[in-house]
Structures are given as C-alpha cells and as structure tokens.
Structure 1
Amino acid sequence: MHSHNYRVPDPFKGQVVVVVGYAPSGVDISRDIVGVAKEVHVARRSPATSETESTALPNLWLYPMIERVEEDGSVLFQDGSRVKADTILHCTGYNYHFPYLGEYLGIFVDDNRVGPLYKHVFPPHLAPHISFIGLSLKALVFPLLQLQSNWVAGVLSGRIELPSQEDMMEDVKTFYSELEARGFPKRHTHDLGACTYEYEDWVAKQCGHDGIEGWRKEMFIAALKNFVHHPESYRDEWEDGHLLTQANRDFTKYL
C-alpha cells in the first residue's frame, strides 16, 4: 500500500485578485495571497486616495474604491483604472443581525446600530436579563471583553446596580443625539475610536477595578501607528518592545 502526499491547490494561484477593504483583515489577506496570485489589487476607502499607488511588493497595488464591476469581470476603480479580475474578495466587515430579538423583544438593528443599548451592553427595558458583549469596534478588544463580562456578571449577581430603566434610556437618547450632532454615521454607533480608553475605564470603574494599564494604551497607539506606516510588516516588527517589561511586571501579580 502506497501513501501519497496531496497538496490542495491554492485557489488564488496565478489569478488576478481584487480585495475590497484595507483594514487589518484586508491587509493580512492581501499579503497572504500575494505570494501565489498573479496580481493583487486592493480597493480602499481609508486613507482616502484619488489615484492608484504602488507598494513595496511588485504585484500589489492600492486603489480608491470601486466604481463598478462589469459582466466580464472587469473592475473599474474611481480613478478610472481598470483590471479584469478572476476573484473579488470582500474584506468589508460584517453586519449585526439578530432577527430573533426584533418585534418580540424590541431590540433592532438599524444601519448596523444595535439598540437601544445602555453603554453598548444593556437594553434598558430588558436589563439585566439580556446583555451584549463585544459589539464595540476599534477598541482594546480583549480587555474590553473581560471588562464587559465582569460588569454583566456583577449586575447579575446583584453586586453592581444599574441605573433605573428611565435613566438608562435617557442616557441612550443623549448618546444618539450627540452622535448625530457630530455627524457620526449611525452605522458607526459601536465604533469607540478615540473614546476607547474613556469607555473602558468607565466600565472598569463600574466593576470596582483600576483603569486600563498605561502600557496597554501605549501599545495600542504604537500598533495603530505601525499599521498605518508599515502595513506590510506591522505584525512582525515593532518598536515598542520596552513596554513588554511593564507588561511582564503587571502579569507577575497573577502568578
């Protein structure tokens, strides 16, 4: 009996691939396939671009967003550039969808805003029986998940008390009004962005914990800057190694 090693053919080998989206997933995927694909063309919304840009990789190009896709597979970009694609990959994020919570429970998704939610977690009219953990974007994700979980656990155990339903609903309305006044799109309701530290420190305070450690915040900022300036190597090379010493010192408290 003979054994054979079979290799699954790479689906992108020799192909012209268009990747839509250039957040971390789009960056990583485009660079994963660039070694086997013939060409990789990336359409990106941010940072804003008005024309095609070459990269350090000879078969990877950056474009503004797509104007249209034609029946023969041709992709027309907003700067007038055109390529004929074998494959189009959408790295454009995802939409929240909770159809089982809609009419019956009064929790709706409107343009990717899940609501009404107090501080992105509790529906005022159903708290504490239903809660959401991890909806927020552009945050220190793992500390955020831990803090929100601790907050929910504390509320369910009775150790932490939520405001009244009326006060929570008023907070939600105020938050939505502030977003609208700033011209913030509804679909970005759960995008913490520059408010991530303020929000996570607030949740930590509800749990009786200290705020997010300084070294975590510094690492987050350094990683973002590294991603912007060195997208091709930001996961493999960094210049904030000195913060590891502070992190190790904190972690020893748990050993």
Structure 2
Amino acid sequence: LATTHTESERDRKMGSTGTASDGLEAKEVAVIGAGAAGLVAARELKREGHRVVVFERGDTVGGTWVYTSEVDSGDLLGRDPSRMVVQSSLYKSLRTNLPRESMGFLDYPFTAVAGRDDRRFPSHEEVLAYLSDFALDFDLLKLIRFQTDVFHVTRVADGRWLVRSRKVLSGEEAVDASEVFDAVVVCSGHHTEPRIAEIP
C-alpha cells in the first residue's frame, strides 16, 4: 500500500508558516534520524521557520543511546534484507567516556538533574534522558514520525528530493509513502549497514 502526502496535508502536519526567519521562503526539509544530530538539526531548521519532518525507524528519540538487550540475527553480514536489525551499540553497564560538560549542546548544557544519575561520567540512560528532555523542551516530538524507515532518497528533475519511507507497526502491514522535499539532512549514523570487503 503506497500513499503520497499532498502539500496541504504536509503543511498541516509541519505547522507551515510559509516564511523562514530570514525572510526567505520556508523550505520543506526531511531529517533522517532522531538521535543527537537529528534532534539538533530539526530544532535549528524549525527555529529558522522551515517545515520539518523527522523520520525515525525506532520508537523513541536518542539514536545510538537507545539500549536494548536484543542482538542481531545470525546474518551479521546483512545478506538477508528481512533480518532483524538491532541498532543498539550499547551494553547494559555502559557509562560515557567523556564528562557531561563536554557532551551537552552549547545552549542546552548537560547538567545533573535531581533524582537522576548525577555522576560526571553518567550512564547511557542519563544521556538518553538528556536527549529526551531536549526533544520535549523544544517541542520536537510532533515533528517525528516514529517507526518509519527511509529506504530510498533520490534527486528529482526540479532539484528537490524524493524520499520513500516505510512505516512498520508490529503485527500490521507496512505502509509505504513517497514525498518530495527541498532538502534532506541525513543523521542516521555511519555504521547502520555493514560494508563488507570484496576479497577475490
């Protein structure tokens, strides 16, 4: 099943103003990934008055800071496209190897919060809580399409970008969508898919 969103539907979903903060026409921008980089990109684009949609394949913000005890299926080389892919690169007891002072954003410091992990080198749960707080404080959740995987991006004739995505909810049939954006910001990380060397 494929769907295509009309511009008016997208405007309602993105809270269109029509004008960016610099007086130029607001652009429609897709951000792929709701980890730290995707959240900051979305916030800055929103601040400039652009219409932003964030695509996140998981069910929460945080990207690499989302922990799961699940492991990949036996297909570690990625040859089976239907395999279960586990994005977490964390282990249960992981703490940061950088002090919180150097992990926060310049205008949103990573300060200790009462009742949570206040260590200088906090746990991964605390980093995730910080990113969740950031998303809430800047009202970014309404921009994010969770459980939506972008599987194809290509430039079209007018210089804009066609983004094809797939929303998958457990126990339901996948729903594909095609949308055109003025720009795409890729914040999905560098190591999502393995690159296996061809050895003759």
The TM-score with structure 2 as length reference comes to 0.34
Higher helix share: 1
Larger radius of gyration between Structure 1 and Structure 2: 1
Q: Which has the higher contact order (CA 8 A, sep 6+)?
A: 2
Higher strand share: 2
The TM-score with structure 1 as length reference comes to 0.27
